[in-house]
């Protein structure tokens, strides 16, 4: 696929972009490298002021940036605007807290003075996905820039306007030339960029194959990588749960971002005692969703980002049904309009070995499992190669403690949906990746944690 803006709601190609030549990439790498030499010494209050300005620019132009995202990848405009606002929040969070997070940490040893100092690494490559085209980038960039690193962004090929707009935001905010640059290049260029001596580390959010490929290329050069990959997050509902709240949250947690979120609830694991009621209400709510033009403020569900996501998702659904899964609602693309629209879908009676049992579904498809009790719920929740987030619903304290302790995931949310928050670390275990973004842990990923010992 070339680098282009293709409206997912109509299929129309709106703009195509020339990929950067190798010489163009070299110019940007050289600029990033020379920028770092100066930038690493800029005083923290100055970086902070620039990041605050970036937050102001984001908020001031939230509608334009929101429309850009909706046009390029199909999320509803209201959610796109909320995403821009969240980016402003993460900028302000790190602008205010970075000095504290990166302050020297004294240690009592046999030295007259010993402490830990956090220093920037240099040029960091960020390979980013289209599903949250602004948020995924800002949650990397805000801590990285505050720590004194410089950023190179290789964004998904279907969101080039977003990629260029983000570069411009940092420029306008006052960051020096080269502190944050976008490289309009295809995925085939990533390995050579990470191999370049001037690039010190990388972060990738996206699919497992992309993560494996980047980690392998970085591994050859002994360079650090943070990976935020897929998930098949469980949403467990036990008998004591507030069912109204659980069902409404289940709908939001599954259909958020037209179903294309790594931390979307994907497997709904419900105990038998309440399963009939949960299922009935979930089906009703899925069928009440308003599908349509994502620019329209009344739309709940827009199109999938690309025709291939739609095709892959439909294949997973059909294949699961072919081997015995029961379709409760949906199960096909919308046939009466152009664009990558897929009906909100629920599958149950999911057989072992089917795609619905084993794979991530990146679209508006809920997978409903019935279990006997909490033991079976936890066992099923953990029976996946992924381990990103988990949402669990109960009002029994002992059950809550078991869920927190026994679920294999980077995050457990009790009586709420999994979401990212600048104040809390975010990331996965198992095949969902490694490393953390956000919080104090996020800003410590791309620093040299230097031990200092003075006699």
Under rule CB under 6 A, which residues in 322-341 are in contact with ligand NDP? none
Distance of CA 63 to the CA centre of its chain: 21
Q: How many residues bind ligand NDP (CB under 6 A)?
A: 25
Residue 221 interacting with ligand NDP (CB under 6 A): no
397 given a catalytic annotation? no
What's the CA gap between 94 and 135, in Å, rounded? 14
What's the CA gap between 411 and 428, in Å, rounded? 8
Of the residues 213, 320, 348, 391, which one makes contact with ligand NDP according to CB under 6 A: 213
Of the residues 98, 229, 291, 417, which one makes contact with ligand NDP according to CB under 6 A: 229
Residue 345 interacting with ligand NDP (CB under 6 A): no
Of the residues 8, 74, 143, 206, which one makes contact with ligand NDP according to CB under 6 A: 206
Of the residues 77, 98, 127, 438, which one makes contact with ligand NDP according to CB under 6 A: 127
Residue 160 interacting with ligand NDP (CB under 6 A): no
What's the CA gap between 371 and 362, in Å, rounded? 24
CB of 156 closer than 8 Å to CB of 70: no
287 given a catalytic annotation? no
Instruction: Report how far apart, in Å, the C-alpha atoms of 55 and of each of 94, 134, 142, 166 are.
Output: 11, 12, 10, 12
Which residue, among 81, 431, 412, 74, has the nearest Cα to 259 in the 3D structure? 74
Using CB under 6 A, which of the segments 20-28, 127-135, 325-333, 403-411 binds ligand NDP?
127-135
Residue 362 interacting with ligand NDP (CB under 6 A): yes
Residue 385 interacting with ligand NDP (CB under 6 A): no
196 contact partners, CB below 8 Å, separation of at least 6: 29
Output the smallest distance, CB 80 to ligand NDP, in A: 16
What's the CA gap between 119 and 145, in Å, rounded? 12
Nearer to ligand NDP, 86 or 154 (CB): 154
Residue 309 interacting with ligand NDP (CB under 6 A): yes
CB of 292 closer than 8 Å to CB of 302: yes
Contact positions toward ligand NDP, by CB under 6 A? 127-131, 154-157, 186-187, 190, 205-207, 210, 213-214, 228-230, 262, 309, 360, 362
């Amino acid at each position: 696929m070339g680098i282009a803006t293709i409206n997912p709601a109509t299929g129309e190609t709106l703009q195509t972009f020339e990929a950067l030549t190798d010489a163009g990439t070299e110019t940007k790498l050289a600029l990033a490298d020379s920028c770092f030499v100066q930038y690493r010494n800029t005083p923290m209050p100055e970086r902070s002021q620039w990041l605050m300005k970036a937050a102001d620019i984001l908020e001031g132009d939230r509608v334009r940036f929101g429309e850009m995202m909706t046009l390029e990848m199909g999320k509803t405009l209201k959610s796109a605007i909320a995403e821009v606002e969240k980016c402003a929040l993460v900028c302000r969070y790190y602008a205010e807290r970075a000095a504290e997070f990166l302050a020297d940490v004294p240690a009592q040893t046999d030295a007259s003075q010993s402490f830990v100092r956090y220093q920037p690494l240099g040029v960091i490559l960020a390979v980013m996905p289209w599903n949250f085209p602004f948020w995924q980038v800002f949650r990397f960039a805000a801590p990285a820039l505050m720590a004194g690193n410089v950023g190179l962004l290789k964004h998904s090929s279907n969101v080039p306007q977003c990629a260029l707009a983000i570069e411009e935001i940092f420029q306008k905010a006052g960051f020096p030339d080269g502190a944050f640059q976008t490289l309009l290049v295809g995925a085939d260029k990533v390995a050579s960029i990470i191999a370049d001596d001037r690039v010190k580390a990388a972060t990738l959010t996206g699919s497992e194959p992309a993560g494996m490929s980047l980690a392998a290329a970085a591994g050859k050069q002994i360079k650090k990588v943070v990976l935020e990959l897929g998930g098949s997050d469980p949403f467990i509902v036990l008998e004591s749960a507030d069912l109204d709240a659980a069902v409404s949250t289940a709908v939001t947690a599954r259909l958020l971002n037209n179903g294309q979120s790594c931390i979307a609830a994907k497997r709904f694991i419900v105990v038998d005692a309440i399963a009939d009621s949960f299922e009935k209400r979930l089906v009703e709510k899925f069928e009440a969703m308003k599908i349509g033009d994502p620019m329209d403020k009344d739309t709940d569900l827009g199109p999938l980002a690309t025709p291939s996501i739609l095709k892959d998702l439909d294949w997973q659904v059909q294949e699961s049904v072919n081997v015995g899964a029961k379709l409760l609602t949906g199960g096909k693309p919308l046939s009466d309009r152009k664009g990558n629209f897929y009906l909100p879908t629920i599958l149950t009676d999911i057989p072992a070995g089917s795609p619905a049992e084993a794979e991530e579904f990146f679209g508006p498809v809920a997978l409903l499992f019935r279990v006997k009790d909490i033991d079976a719920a936890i066992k099923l929740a953990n029976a996946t190669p992924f381990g990103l987030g988990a949402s669990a619903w109960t009002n029994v304290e002992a059950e809550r403690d078991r869920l927190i302790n026994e679920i294999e995931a980077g995050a457990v949310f009790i009586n709420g949906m999994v979401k990212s928050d600048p104040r809390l670390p975010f990331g996965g275990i198992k095949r969902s990746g490694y490393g953390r973004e956000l919080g104090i842990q996020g800003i410590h990923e791309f620093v040299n944690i230097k031990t200092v010992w003075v006699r």
